[in-house]
Chains A and B, each alone.
Chain A
Amino acid sequence: MVFSSLIFLFVFLPAVLLLYYCSPWRIKNLILFLTSLVFYAWGEPVYIVIMLISTVTDYSFGLLLSNPRLKPIQRKWIVVFSIIVNLALLSYFKYADFLIHNVNDLLGTDIPLTELALPIGISFYTFQSMSYIIDIYRGTAKAQRNWIDFATFVALFPQLVAGPIVHYKTVSEQLRKRSINIEMFAEGVRSFIIGLAKKVLLANNIGLLWHAISETDSGSLPVLTAWLGIIAFAFQIYFDFSGYSDMAIGLGLMFGFRFNENFNKPYTAQSITDFWRRWHISLSSWFRDYVYIPLGGNRRGLGKQLRNILIVWLLTGIWHGASWNFLLWGLYFGVILIFEKWWVLKLLERTPRWVRHIYAILLILIGWVLFAFEDLPLISEYLQAMIGLTGQPFWDDNTLYFAYTNAILLAVLVIASMPWRKLSAAPASGKGAILNLIWCGLLFFLSVSYLVDATFNPFLYFRF
C-alpha cells in the first residue's frame, strides 16, 4: 500500500487510528506491529516472510550481544555475522541478477538469472536492523528484550517502505514509552498533508513533463527542452521523495514517534558538500556513522580519507539500485566531494552566493542525468543534447508549449524549494494559526481531487 492512495487514506488509516487509540498502552505496539504487517502484506503477501526472518535473526543477535559474559572477540563475530546475514538477504534480492548479468557478459557464461522481484522496503529495513546491532555493540543502545517492541521498530508502517531510515538509538526510548498530545498529533497532520501535497500536486504533475521529454529520442531534443526535462526530473524526485518522508514523519507523530528530518531544502545548497547534508539525511548519516567513521573517517591521513570517501560514495550509489549508472552517480559525487575538500570549497568561499548556488545546482542537475537513465549510452546522449552537440536548434515549438503550460507549476516548485519556515510548525499567533489551518485544509482537499482523478478511468469506444 502507498500513503498516496485512497484506500490508505480512507480505509486503512482511519481503521488503524481507531484501533490504536482505543487500545490500552500495553498493546499499542502490538497493534502497530500487526497493522504494519497488513500494510506490508498488501503489496508483498509472500515476501513478508523475509522481513520476519530478518527481524527474528536481528532480535536474537541483539539478545546474544547483551550477554555480559561475552569476550570482545565473540561480540565482534556476532556483529560481523549479523551484518553478513542482512547484507546476504539484501544482495540476493537486489544485486544477484546484476552480478550474474555482468559475469555472463564478461566471461561469456550462461548462468541463469534469478529473476526475483525486489521485496518492497528491503533496502530500508535491512539498514535499520544493522543500525540496531551496531548500536548495541557500541553501547549506544540497549538490546530490546521485548520481541513485539523490536518487531514494531522494524515493521513500523510509516517508515517501512521508503524511509526515513530510523537509527535504533533515536527511537529506542520511544518504543518503550511515548506521550501523545494534541499538539504533536496536529504537527503530524500538517506534516502528512504537506507531504501528500508535495507528492500528489507537485511531483506527479511535473513528472508528466519529465515523462514527455524523456520518452522523446534524446538526439532530437533542442538544448532548452533537454534542460527543462532534467529540471523537471530534479523537482519530481525531490518532491516525491521528500513528500514521502514528510508523510512518514507525520504518521509517526500521529502515533507518538518523532523521527528525524530527512530533507532540508536541498536545492538551496551552496556546494555539493552542503547538498549532501541536506538530501536524504537519514541515508548519508547512516553511511557516515556506520561506514565512514568506522573506516577511520578523516583521522588517518589524506590518503585513507580519500579512500573512505570513495568507498562510501560507491556504496551510496549502488544502494540506490543495482545498475552501473547508480555506481557512476555515486562515484561522480564522491569525486566532486574530494575536490571540494581539497580546494574547491576554499575557492567557493571567495565567490558571491549566487555563483556558489549556480555551481551546486549545475552539478546536481548533471548528477540527475546519471541517475535518471539506466543505460550509459542514453546518459551520454542526453548530456550531449544539453550541451548542444546534437545539432538541434536551441529551442522549438515544443519547448515553448512545455514551458508555458508548466510555467505556473514551475514557479510554485521553485517557491516550494526555498527556505521558508516549515509549514508543519504552525505559527502561534492568531492570524497565522488560522491561515495555516485553512492552507492545510485546502491542500488536503486538492490532493484528494488529484488522487481521485488519477484513478479516473473512462472506458471509451475510442477505437471502435
Chain B
Amino acid sequence: MKQKADRLLVGGFVAALFLISLTFFLLPITRFSELENRTLQAAPKFTWDNLISKKFAEDAESFVTDHFPYRGDWVWMKSSIEQLRLQQENNGIYKGKDGYLFEKFAKPDYTKVQQYIEAINLFAASHPEVSTTFMLAPTSVGMYPDRLPWKAPFYSEEKVNNVIADQLNNSLTFMNGFDFLRPHATESIYYRTDHHWTTLGAYYAYSAYAKQMGWQPLSLKEFQVATVSDSFLGSFHTRSQFSGLTPDQIQAFLPTKPVHSEMYIADTDKTLNTLYDDSFLRKKDQYSYFMGGVHALTTIKSDLDPQSVDLDKLLIVKDSYAHSFIPFLTQHVSEIHVIDIRYYNGTIGDYMTANGIRNVLLLFNTATFVDNGEILKIDN
C-alpha cells in the first residue's frame, strides 16, 4: 500500500507541475485583466542589460504570475479559506456588516495633511478674485464605523475632517461631507462593494452645494431614477475577492426636464453627446459609466435656457467622487471644466486665467485627500 501511495504521490506531484506548466505555456496570452482592471505583464525580453539589472528576472516572474492559469479561481479559493478561519479582512478590505465591505482607514500622516492644507490655503489666498469651495466627503468607513467587523481597528474620518476644517483659511468655503450626508446615513448613499458614493449620495452632496451657492436644487421628484446595472461588484470586491456578496445597483438620475450636454475629453480629443458611457456597464469597472472614467481634463457644455443659468463657468478639481456628482450640475452651470490633478500636467492658475474661471470647487473624499500628495500641485 505504501508503495502504491508513494507512486501516486510522485506521479501526481510531477504531473501537477508539468500540467500547470504546460497550461501556462499553451493558454493564449490575455493582455488585460478585467478582474484586476490592469494591463498584464508582457513576455520578458532577453538582453544582457536586462539580465544584469535583474529586469529580466523580475519581468519573467510577473509574467508567470500575471498569466497563471485560472488565476481568478485560485485567488477566490484563498479568500474563501481566509473567511473560514475567521479572518475579517483580505488584502486590506474588511468584510463588514449588512453586506458592506470597507477599506481600512488608518491614522493619516498629519505633517503631510498639514502641507496639503497649506497648499489649498495658498491657492485660495493667491486667487482672491476667485470664489473657492472645498468639499470633503467621508468614505463609507468614515460614515459607518459601527458596521465594521467586531472590534476592528479604525481611525475616525470625522476627526480628520474636523482637523482640516479648523486649519483652512476663511478665504474659502469648506463643506464637510458629514454635515450633509449624515442626515441620510440610513439611505443607500454608499456602494457596499465599491469605494464611491452612490448617485443618491452624490445627489445629497449636489443639493448641499447648490444651496451653498444660492441656487435652487432640483428635488428628488424632479428626477426619473433608472437602474442601469444590478451587477456591480466594485473595487472593494476586486481587491478582497470575498464571495457571497450581493452586487450593488448603479442608478442614473435623469431629470424630467433634461438638458443637452456635450462632453469634450481633452486627453483623447473626443466630443461626446452624453455624460454616461454605457460600455463600462458590461465591464468590471462599472463606475466608469459616469463620465467614462478618469481623464486629466474634461469640459462640459450644456445648452441651458439663459434664464436658468446660475453660473456660466465652474472649475472642478476632483477625485473620482465627482464623476457621479457632475451630471447634477449641468442643470445650473453652462460650462464645467473638470481637472483631475493627478493626470493634469499644466498649471491650474494659468488654466483659470486662460478660461476666465471665477468659481472653483475642490471635491475629494477624505481617504484620497490625506493619502495623495498630488494636491500639492494646486498652487504651482
Q: In the bound complex, do residue A460 and residue B238 qualify as a contact, i.e. CB atoms below 8 Å apart?
A: yes
Q: Give A13 to B64 CA distance when docked, in angstroms.
A: 14
Q: In the bound complex, do residue A408 and residue B86 qualify as a contact, i.e. CB atoms below 8 Å apart?
A: yes
Interface residues of A (CB under 8 A from B): 1, 5-7, 9-11, 13-14, 17, 41-43, 45-46, 182-183, 185-186, 189-190, 193, 397-398, 400-401, 404-409, 426-430, 433-434, 436-437, 440-441, 444, 446, 448-450, 452-453, 455-464
Q: Which residue of B lies closest to A21 (CB)?
A: B14
| Contact residues in B for A17 (Cβ distance below 8 Å) | 14, 17
Contact residue among A405, A427, A461 (Cβ-Cβ distance under 8 Å from B294) = A461
| Contact residues in B for A193 (Cβ distance below 8 Å) | 13
Query: What number of B residues sit within 8 Å (CB to CB) of A?
Result: 73
In residues 39-56 of chain B, which contact A (Cβ within 8 Å)? 51-52, 54
Q: Which residue of B lies closest to A446 (CB)?
A: B81
| Contact residues in B for A185 (Cβ distance below 8 Å) | 6, 10
Can you report 9 residue pairs joining A to B where beta carbons are below 8 Å apart? A6-B61, A7-B61, A186-B10, A401-B149, A426-B2, A427-B2, A437-B12, A452-B65, A453-B79
CB distance from A442 to the nearest CB of B (A): 11
**Per-position 1/0 for B304-333, Cβ under 8 A of A:** 000000000000000110000000000000
Asked whether A407 and B86 contact (CB < 8 A) given A11-B21, A457-B36, A459-B37, the answer is: yes
Q: In the bound complex, do residue A429 and residue B238 qualify as a contact, i.e. CB atoms below 8 Å apart?
A: no
CB distance from B74 to the nearest CB of A (A): 4
CB distance from B104 to the nearest CB of A (A): 10
Q: Classify the secondary structure of B's interface with A.
A: helix
Asked whether A460 and B6 contact (CB < 8 A) given A430-B1, A444-B13, A449-B81, the answer is: no
Contact residue among A400, A426, A450, A458 (Cβ-Cβ distance under 8 Å from B6) = A426
Interface residues of B (CB under 8 A from A): 1-10, 12-14, 16-18, 20-21, 24, 35-38, 51-52, 54, 57, 60-62, 64-66, 68, 71, 74-75, 77-79, 81, 85-89, 91, 103, 149-153, 195, 235, 238-239, 241, 285, 288, 293-294, 319-320, 340-343, 367-368, 371-372, 374
Q: In the bound complex, do residue A433 and residue B342 qualify as a contact, i.e. CB atoms below 8 Å apart?
A: no
Q: Give A352 to B293 CA distance when docked, in angstroms.
A: 68
Q: Give A461 to B295 CA distance when docked, in angstroms.
A: 11
Asked whether A10 and B17 contact (CB < 8 A) given A182-B3, A405-B86, the answer is: yes
| Contact residues in B for A448 (Cβ distance below 8 Å) | 74
| Contact residues in B for A462 (Cβ distance below 8 Å) | 103, 195, 235, 368
Q: In the bound complex, do residue A458 and residue B13 qualify as a contact, i.e. CB atoms below 8 Å apart?
A: no
| Contact residues in A for B51 (Cβ distance below 8 Å) | 41, 45
Q: In the bound complex, do residue B86 and residue A441 qualify as a contact, i.e. CB atoms below 8 Å apart?
A: no
Q: Give A448 to B76 CA distance when docked, in angstroms.
A: 12
